[in-house]
Structure 1
Amino acid sequence: MPDVFINYRTGDGHQAAATIEEALSARFGKERIYYASKSIPPGTPFDGHLIHGVRRSGVLLALIGPGWIGHEALQSDGDWVRREIQEAFLCDIRVIPVLIGRRTERPAKDDLPAPLRKLADCQSLRYDHQNKEYDLKQIGDTLAKLVPELAAADREASTEQPSSASNHNTTGDVYGASVQGSTVNGDVSAVREAHGPVHIGPSNVRMGDGGNYFQGGNAGGIRQNFGRSRPEEDEEK
């Protein structure tokens, strides 16, 4: 069952429609997006399929390009762009105008055929190919908030969850300074054969060569083995 029906006119918004369909299908699953050229099986009567697709959807995106309002077909009862929007209004399905480009304005009520005048009162979104990434995310985020089924299928939200895994740091043979920056949540493993300063623990704790820092209890004891002796000049200090 499609949740989003993409309504567009060939020659005035069909390229944007293809881009939007591809982005929404990737995010929510192609079975949830109705796009005529992909959703109607070959040999199927398109008229009944289109109307049925509108009736089963939760949202209709009405893509409005620069020449949309002036297209003469919009004044005809048989125009499919008009019929799909009109059917959505009759079935109390949410209609969202998507304005294509930076300069496209929302249609004025007086410029619309009587059955579509409600379109002038619908809050719109915008898609501009020069702002493609941001606009596609805005459209997807809006749909996920409005349609519970889309929120449940939102693949983008699932990939943005912060990881709760601990940091596990292992340092092998170190020749020079070894510094752990920022906060570590989890275990910090031992440093083997350190040949230089080692910084372990809080920022105000500085250990010498091969040093160990422990905070809290230590049930197993500490075993430390230096691979070389300290130079005599260090011992005199």
Structure 2
Amino acid sequence: MPDVFINYRTGDGEQAAATIEEALSARFGKDRIYFASKSIPPGTPFDGHLIHGVRRSGVLLALIGPGWTGHAALRSDGDWVRREIQEAFLCDIRVIPVLVGRRTERPAKDELPVPLRKLTDCQSLRYDHQNKEYDLKQIGDTLARLVPELAAVDREAHTELPPSATHHNTAGDTYGTGVQGTVNGDVSTVREAHGPVHIGPSNVRMGDGGNYFQGGVEGGFRQNFDRSRPEEDDER
């Protein structure tokens, strides 16, 4: 079942539509995005498939390019761009206008046929190829907030893994000065890493989770912590 139906006019937004479809399919899965050229199987009557696709969707993205409102077909009852939007309104499906290009403005009511005038009351998004990455993310984030089914399969959200409870700090062959841990007062020299490892001068105060060392560490330096830092340590 598609969750997003992409509505566009050939010659006035099909390239943007293809880019948006590709990005949304990669993020949510191709079966959740209805795009006529990919979603209608060969030999299938397109008229019934299109209407059925609109009715089963949760959101219709209406792509509006620079020449969209002035296209003569928009005044025809048989125009498929118009019919898809009208069907979404009749079925109480959310319609989001997507303004294609930096200079494309929202249509005024008197520029639209009466059945589409509700479109001017719908909050819009924008897609500009010069701001491609940001605009695609905004469109995807908006859909994930509005459609619970999309939020559940949002691949971008699932890649943001929580920090591990165990910290691993490693220093390989190190020359110079390194710091880690809490050190108060005099400190000493350790001779367990293929040579002396001096952990710092006296009277050095470092934060939690740090060590100070100076000299050559040819064999490597490793330290593990079994708990993460308290949350209050990050609030500064």
| Alignment TM-score, normalising by the size of structure 2 | 0.79
Partner of 1:192: 193
| 2:49 equivalent to 1:46 | no
Per-residue deviation, 1:191 = 6.3
SS of the residue 2:81 aligns to: helix
Given the alignment, which residue of 200, 203, 206 partners 1:203? Answer: 206
1:146-185 to 2 correspondences below 5 Å: 146-171=146-171, 174-180=174-180
Which structure 2 residues correspond to residues 34-73 of structure 1 after superposition, within 5 A?
34-73=34-73
1:14 partner letter:
E
Aligned match of 2:223: none
Question: 1 CA distance for matches of 2:205 and 2:31?
Answer: 53
**Inter-CA distance 173–12: structure 2 relative to 1 (3 Å threshold):** closer
Question: Is the contact made by 2:174 and 2:215 (CA closer than 8 Å) also made in structure 1?
Answer: no
Inter-partner Cα distance in structure 2 for 1:191 and 1:142? 56
- The Cα shift of 1:178 comes to 3.2
Cα distance, 1:172–1:5 mapped onto 2, change above 3 Å: closer
SS in 2 for 1:170: strand
Q: Which amino acid aligns with 1:97?
A: P
Q: 1:33 to 1:209 in 2, by over 3 A?
A: closer
Q: Which residue of 2 aligns with 1:185?
A: none
For the structure 1 residues 87 and 208, does the alpha-carbon distance in structure 2 shift closer, same or farther, using more than 3 Å as the test? Answer: closer
Residue 108 of structure 1 is matched in structure 2 by 108
Length, aligned pairs only: 203
Other structure's SS at 1:73 match: helix
Give 1:111 deviation, angstroms. 1.0
Map 1:9-158 → 2, pairs under 5 A = 9-158=9-158
Matched with 1:229 is none
- Rounded to whole Å, the distance in 2 between the matches of 1:75 and 1:129 is 28
Q: Is the 8 A contact 2:176 2:215 kept in 1?
A: no
The structure that has the greater radius of gyration is 1
| One-letter code aligned to 2:46 | F
CA–CA distance in structure 2, aligned partners of residues 112 and 136 of structure 1: 27
**Corresponding position of 1:234:** none
Q: What SS is found at the alignment partner of 1:160?
A: coil
Percent identity (aligned): 79
Shift of 1:176: 3.8
Q: Secondary structure at the match of 2:137?
A: helix
User: 1:164, CA displacement in angstroms?
Assistant: 2.3
Q: Which moved more, 1:19-28 or 1:156-165?
A: 156-165
Query: Deviations 1:177-232 (Å, cap 9, x if unpaired)?
Result: 333389xxxxxxx962343433599517867889xxxxxxxxxxxxxxxxxxxxxx
CA RMSD of aligned residues (A): 2.6
* Aligned counterparts of 1:181 and 1:100: Cα–Cα separation in 2: 53
**Distance across 2 between alignment mates of 1:12 and 1:207:** 64
Secondary structure in 2 matching 1:168: strand
CA distance in 1, matches of 2:131, 2:123: 20
TM-score (norm 1): 0.78
Match in the other structure for 2:4: 4
The one-letter code matched in structure 1 to 2:75 is: Q
